[in-house]
């Protein structure tokens, strides 16, 4: 298999909402400007979305990321272009982080997994050359932190990853609930 190359691209970002639900019993200070109630959950900054690409044996191939450490209105975010090979299958894991304080990086993925019955990750591909199947579940509906990606022919695909917060309304569909974060990555499928 060719080595996977990570390149940086600002073309991939379409939109970003940078709030996520925070655990009820977390007593840390809320970020400025994100202090309204969200179904009894505090708001929390998501500055980073990591896409960890593995082969089907679980061996990590590469990590691609969206990073906006200073949030909306500051410096432009950095978005890696995701490089995949054509006619291949990958197991993918997502990590949602708050890296706004380099001395106190918080892995928000843990909170999402603890409240998996209230969260759904949605994937929207601009082409049939990249398909995504969620491989994890809350026991009733998929979650989407873990997924399997299949590539077809070579080309360029835009893939939008959306984290939905769906307390009391989760039904396996992406429509209900609020969007916690949404990022569009440019995916280059190579020969």
- Per-position DSSP letters for 6-48, written without gaps between them: -EE-STT------EEEE-TT--SPPPTT--S-BTTBEEEE--E
**Tokens in use for 94?**
């997502």
User: The whole model's pTM is what?
Assistant: 0.80
Average pLDDT estimate for 149-165: 97
Average pLDDT estimate for 172-191: 96
- DSSP track, the chain: -PPP--EE-STT------EEEE-TT--SPPPTT--S-BTTBEEEE--EEEEEEE-TTS-EEEEEEEE-TT-TTSSPPEEEEEEEETT-EEEEEEEEEE-SSTTS-EETHHHHHHTGGGEEEEEEESSTTEEEEE--BSSSSB--SEEEEEE-SSEEEEEEEEEEE-TTT-SS-SSSSEEEEEEEEEEEEE-
State yes or no: pLDDT of 126 exceeds 90: yes
Question: What is the bridge-based pairing of β-strands 78-85 and 178-190?
Answer: parallel
State yes or no: pLDDT of 32 exceeds 70: no
Q: How confident is the model at residue 191 (pLDDT cuts 50, 70, 90)?
A: confident
Give the pLDDT confidence score for residue 69 in this predicted structure.
82
Q: How confident is the model at residue 43 (pLDDT cuts 50, 70, 90)?
A: low
Residue 17 near residue 181, CB atoms below 8 Å: yes
Q: What is the pLDDT of residues 63-105, one digit of tens each?
A: 999 999 877 778 889 999 999 999 999 999 999 999 988 899 9
Buried b / exposed e along 169-190 (16+ C-beta atoms within 10 A): ebeeebeebbebbbbbbbbebe
Average pLDDT estimate for 33-46: 48
């Amino acid at each position: 298999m060719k080595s996977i190359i990570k390149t940086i691209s600002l073309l991939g970002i379409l939109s970003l909402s940078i709030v996520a639900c925070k655990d009820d019993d977390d007593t840390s200070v809320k970020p400025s400007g994100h202090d309204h109630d969200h179904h009894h959950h505090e708001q929390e900054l998501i500055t980073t979305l990591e896409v960890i690409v593995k082969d089907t044996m679980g061996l990590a191939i590469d990590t691609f990321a969206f990073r906006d450490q200073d949030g909306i209105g500051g410096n432009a975010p950095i978005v890696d272009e995701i490089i995949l090979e054509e006619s291949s299958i990958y197991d993918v894991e997502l990590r949602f982080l708050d890296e706004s304080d380099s001395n106190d990086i918080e892995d928000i993925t843990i909170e999402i997994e603890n409240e998996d019955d209230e969260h759904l990750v949605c994937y929207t591909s601009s082409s049939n050359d990249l398909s995504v199947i969620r491989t994890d579940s809350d026991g009733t509906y998929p979650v989407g932190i873990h997924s399997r990606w299949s590539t077809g022919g070579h080309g360029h695909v835009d893939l939008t990853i959306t984290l939905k917060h769906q307390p009391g309304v989760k039904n396996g569909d992406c429509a209900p609930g609020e969007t916690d974060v949404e990022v569009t990555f440019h995916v280059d499928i190579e020969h």
